[in-house]
Amino acid sequence: MNSAPAGRLVASDLDRTLIYSAAALELTGPDALAPRLLCVEVYQSKPLSYVTETAAGLLARVAAETVFVPTTTRTREQYGRIRLPGPPPAYAVCANGGHILVDGVSDPGWQRTVTARLDGECASLAEVRGRLLATADPAWVLKERVAEELFAYLVVDRALLPEGWVKELTDWAEPRGWSLSLQGRKIYAVPKPLTKSAAVREVARRAGTAETLAAGDSLLDADLLLAADRAWRPAHGELAAAGWSGPRVTALPETGVAAGEEILRRFLAP
């Protein structure tokens, strides 16, 4: 029986919100009492991301009872590695709002909309990437990547990252229409018009839903949480570290996979 109200859209970040790497599980208590885990992502023939058995059941219900929209900064290729429980979502948002997938295929109309916004409202990816590479030091940069020709990020050694470097680059990027976000070992440079909330609003318009629920743990999720009718964040991640909240955002006390389970329960509550 469907206990969720009709017309409910659920837009959720994935990594460290619904799915967790082995390092992010935050399991507590004796090993014998640890929850059973289901692998939902394999990378280079190795298991990478997990949900608990309880979360898997809740996820299947969310996917069946709502318009469930995985909403991630991952590229389409990275998202394609994930196999969530339940029916495949009809919609997904990838590349921080750069792509709306409809039955697994990127919508060309949304791609044109995004391109027009980026061309008219912010500096080019080439300029920002050039600044990243010119100011970063190979001593602490492990990898440099461009995602979907939309934004750039560095994988860094946090222990060697100079104090003040992120702030200096943020101060340079802000007037050019870009934002910086430090998440774990990754430093993201993302154009401000590229947002999860804009893509989710478009999905809600197409799906005809009346209510949007959301969850996320990073600064790149903040706009999504603020735009939702109700939203939740776990007690881990960038938003928790900053003490961030919003008028319709609930800060949960749980961390790790326990937070993932609780977020799914909130999605299904009346």
Residues 20-52 pLDDT 10s: 999 999 998 899 999 999 999 999 999 999 999
Residue 103 domain flag: yes
User: What is the rounded distance in angstroms from the CA atom of residue 106 to the CA atom of residue 98?
Assistant: 9
Residues 42-92 pLDDT 10s: 999 999 999 999 999 999 999 999 999 999 999 999 999 999 999 999 999
State the residue range of the domain holding 164: 123-191
Residue 3 domain flag: no
Residue whose entry in the numeric block shows the structure tokens 């893509």: 199
> End-to-end alpha-carbon separation of the chain, Å?
13
Angle between helices 108-121 and 196-207 (to 10 degrees): 140
User: What is the rounded distance in angstroms from the CA atom of residue 266 to the CA atom of residue 124?
Assistant: 39
SS (H, E, C) 156-189: ECCCCCCCCHHHHHHHHHHHHCEEEEEECCEEEE
Residue 170 domain flag: yes
Residues 212-239 pLDDT 10s: 999 999 999 999 999 999 999 999 999 9
Which CATH number goes with the domain that contains 132? 3.90.1070
The reply to whether 41 and 108 lie within a common domain is yes
Task: With cut-offs at 50, 70 and 90, classify the pLDDT of residue 6.
Answer: low
User: What is the rounded distance in angstroms from the CA atom of residue 41 to the CA atom of residue 16?
Assistant: 13
Q: The whole model's pTM is what?
A: 0.94
Total of domains in the chain: 2
Residue 203 domain flag: yes
User: Which 3 state secondary structure label does DSSP give 270?
Assistant: coil
